[in-house]
């Protein structure tokens, strides 16, 4: 449940999970259902194709990918016309990685295994930010309690 005074994005927004780990994809699908429509990519190249096709509001990416890492994907996203917020997930999440993600332009860092409440909060805020900063269409916002 959102915190007091927190506006949440309407459910069903597109989210891309970039991970070769089926457990990560499955965990995020379980946690985020029905908040978003989850799409999957196994690596950086697949992610770029999916981003151009589905135009996700948020991208969640493993720290390391089979064909690069989160920094490579972030650099690739900078070349796109519309850049969704990038959230990095890592089993080795620490303050140094969190600072690096933020300093290089990522949105946030999620520690894996995931805390469901934190995942929902971070993804909702990223979706709102991603669609109020130059996107084709702002997401419909639902006030606290209206969608629960």
- Topology at the third CATH level for domain 10-131: Rossmann fold (3.40.50)
Tokens of 109: 């860092």
The pLDDT tens digits of the residues spanning 6-18 come to 456 677 899 999 9
Q: Tell me how far apart the alpha carbons of residues 63 and 7 are, in angstroms, rounded to a whole number.
A: 29
Q: So what's the pLDDT on residue 99?
A: 97
Domain boundaries in the chain?
10-131
Q: So what's the pLDDT on residue 34?
A: 82
The stretches in the chain having pLDDT less than 50 are 1-6, 134-148
Q: So what's the pLDDT on residue 8?
A: 61
Q: Tell me how far apart the alpha carbons of residues 64 and 132 are, in angstroms, rounded to a whole number.
A: 29
Q: Give residues with Cβ within 8 angstroms of 99, minimum separation 6.
A: none
Three-state DSSP at 139 gives coil
Q: So what's the pLDDT on residue 132?
A: 63
């Amino acid at each position: 449940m959102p915190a007091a005074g927190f506006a949440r994005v309407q459910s069903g927004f597109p989210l891309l999970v970039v991970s070769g780990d089926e457990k990560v994809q499955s965990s995020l699908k379980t946690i985020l259902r029905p908040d978003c429509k989850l799409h999957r990519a196994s690596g950086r190249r697949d992610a770029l194709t999916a981003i151009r096709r589905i135009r996700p509001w948020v991208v969640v990416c493993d720290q390391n990918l089979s064909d690069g890492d989160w920094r490579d994907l972030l650099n690739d996203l900078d070349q796109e016309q519309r850049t969704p917020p990038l959230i990095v997930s890592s089993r080795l999440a620490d303050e140094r990685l969190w600072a690096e993600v933020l300093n290089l332009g990522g949105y946030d860092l999620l520690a894996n295994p995931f805390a469901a409440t934190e995942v929902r909060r971070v993804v909702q805020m990223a979706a709102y930010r991603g669609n109020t900063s130059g996107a084709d269409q702002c997401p419909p916002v639902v006030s606290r309690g209206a969608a629960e």
